Amino acid sequence: MDQDVTSNKIRSVAVKNLKMDRILGILIRHYAPFNQLSDERLSELVNLIRFVELHSGELFQIRAGKGSDCLFVLEGHVDVIRDGVIQTLVRSTHTPGQALVLSKDSGATTLVARENSIVCHVERQMIDRLISWDVVTSNIQEGAHEVRQRMERVRNSLVFRRLPWESVEVAFERMRPVKVKAGDEIIKCGENGDAFYIITSGCAEVWQPNLTDGTLQKTADIGEGDGFGCEALISGKTRNETVRMLEDGTLLTLGKADFDWLISKQMIKAVNAKVAKTMLETGYKLIDVRSEEEYEYGRLPDAQLIPLFELVKRMDELDQQQRYIIYCHSGNRSSVAALSLTQAGFDVQTLEGGFRDWPYEVEE
């Protein structure tokens, strides 16, 4: 390839990276809750959000996902047309920016750029997940870098991705580190399953029976962050694979009893909106664990605002004799809050679907 062409491509990539850094900087500085996220969560953010660059006069149509989404204007001036109403969004350089919330019931929304503009499109549920995980990991002592890394690996394991956030925290507390040597067979094909494993250092190879004659053949290499051993625990059948370490390493192991308990136990009590409304009429009180900005945008009547980041420090504001229903935008943050309050002795339940799915009156 021509040297000048290669140099131009390298410069182009560098310019794009600088532009992305600048745009992310605007988002983080001017909009909540991004200015509250840790560096680890911000590094995840890049792959989870969508930037739309519009030239002056250009139109762009967008729909909300399954829940509701947010639009943030990072540069320029955009008119938003939905349900026949026009709303102007301009990024302010002096005050915190305001998000435009797109409801799943709003239908299509049209953006019209009045000047060159950049708009950020984010799923609200994704924001909830990032905030929830930051709160979970904040309970770990500062400086415990290795512990945080292990917890991240538990979180990213395929099995635990489907569990509530609070279950991941409990799973981590119940897991035990084990040192292993090169050549060790951690699990063997045909034996009963008694534990689930996550590799925290080192690598291993997976061998499974050939479908024709049953002889073992190598099917995969696995390494840090990969989990194995869950199939036999879930199915109740014998192991269908042998996992052999290729080098010295460490594993996190979760015993079968704890694995079964985590998978099957409903850790947090949740109620739907209709039941919650009746409970509120019989003495339950509401706690809103969203941000102040979300609370100002709209809230359930008579809800007490205690943002999730402040909950541990403000528990003394709550009455242990009082029963509470906790809500956030979609349910992720309220589950984390409910676990903390339950462990502290409070009688709490969460609102299924959160503010997003509440069909009754709200305050603005």
Per-residue model confidence as pLDDT tens digits over 294-325: 899 899 999 999 998 888 889 999 998 899 99
Q: Under a CB-based contact definition with an 8 Å cutoff, are residues 101 and 128 in contact?
A: no
Write down how long the chain is. 364
Q: How far apart are CA 251 and CA 199, in angstroms?
A: 5
Per-residue model confidence as pLDDT tens digits over 56-75: 999 988 876 655 788 888 88
Q: Tokens representing 185?
A: 């067979």
Q: Are residues 280 and 243 in the same domain?
A: no
Q: How far apart are CA 213 and CA 180, in angstroms?
A: 31
Q: What is the mean pLDDT of the chain?
A: 81
Per-residue model confidence as pLDDT tens digits over 137-174: 666 554 456 666 666 777 666 666 656 666 677 777 78
Residue 60 located in a structural domain: yes
Q: How far apart are CA 187 and CA 122, in angstroms?
A: 42
Using CA atoms of 274, 279, 280, 285 in order, give the dihedral in degrees to the nearest 10.
-120
The predicted structure's pLDDT at residue 34: 82
Q: Are residues 285 and 256 in the same domain?
A: no
CATH number reported for the structural domain that contains residue 319 in this entry: 3.40.250.10
Q: Could you count the other beta carbons within 10 Å of the beta carbon of residue 348?
A: 22
Burial class from Cβ neighbours inside 10 Å (0-12, 13-18, 19+) for residue 3 reads exposed
Query: Could you give the angle at the alpha carbon of 45 between the alpha carbons of 41 and 50, nearest 5°?
Result: 165
Q: Which segment of 166-175, 181-190, 337-346 scores lowest on mean pLDDT?
A: 166-175
Q: Are residues 54 and 92 in the same domain?
A: yes
Q: Are residues 238 and 284 in the same domain?
A: no
pTM of this structure? 0.49
Residue 132 located in a structural domain: no
Instruction: Please report which confidence band the pLDDT of residue 6 belongs to, taking 50, 70 and 90 as the band edges.
Output: very low
CATH number reported for the structural domain that contains residue 46 in this entry: 2.60.120.10
Q: Are residues 256 and 280 in the same domain?
A: no
Residue 159 located in a structural domain: no
Question: Which has the higher per-residue pLDDT, 266 or 115?
Answer: 115
Look up residue 33 and give its amino acid: P
Q: Are residues 275 and 234 in the same domain?
A: no
Residue that is last in its domain, among 238, 264, 290 = 264
The domain tally of the chain equals 3
Instruction: Tell me the backbone φ, ψ of residue 182, rounded to 5 degrees.
Output: -55, 135
The predicted structure's pLDDT at residue 27: 83
Residue that is last in its domain, among 209, 233, 264 = 264
Residue 2 located in a structural domain: no
Q: Are residues 184 and 91 in the same domain?
A: no
Closest CA relative to residue 348, chosen from 285, 297, 303: 285
Q: Are residues 227 and 284 in the same domain?
A: no
Cβ density class 184-195: b for 16+ within 10 Å, e for less: bebbebeeebeb
Q: How far apart are CA 148 and CA 170, in angstroms?
A: 14
Using CA atoms of 313, 174, 234, 208 in order, give the dihedral in degrees to the nearest 10.
130
Residue that is last in its domain, among 207, 236, 264 = 264
Q: Under a CB-based contact definition with an 8 Å cutoff, are residues 227 and 196 in contact?
A: yes
Q: Are residues 243 and 207 in the same domain?
A: yes
Instruction: Tell me the backbone φ, ψ of residue 291, rounded to 5 degrees.
Output: -80, 165
Please determine, for residue 10, whether its predicted confidence score (pLDDT) is greater than 50.
Answer: no
For residue 339, CA distances in Å to 252, 335, 336, 364 come to 23, 6, 5, 29
Instruction: Please report which confidence band the pLDDT of residue 340 belongs to, taking 50, 70 and 90 as the band edges.
Output: confident
Identify the domain containing residue 93 by its residue range.
21-124
Q: Are residues 111 and 47 in the same domain?
A: yes
Residue 351 located in a structural domain: yes
Q: Could you count the other beta carbons within 10 Å of the beta carbon of residue 201?
A: 18
Average pLDDT over residues 118-137: 77
Per-residue model confidence as pLDDT tens digits over 220-253: 899 988 888 887 886 677 898 999 999 999 999 9
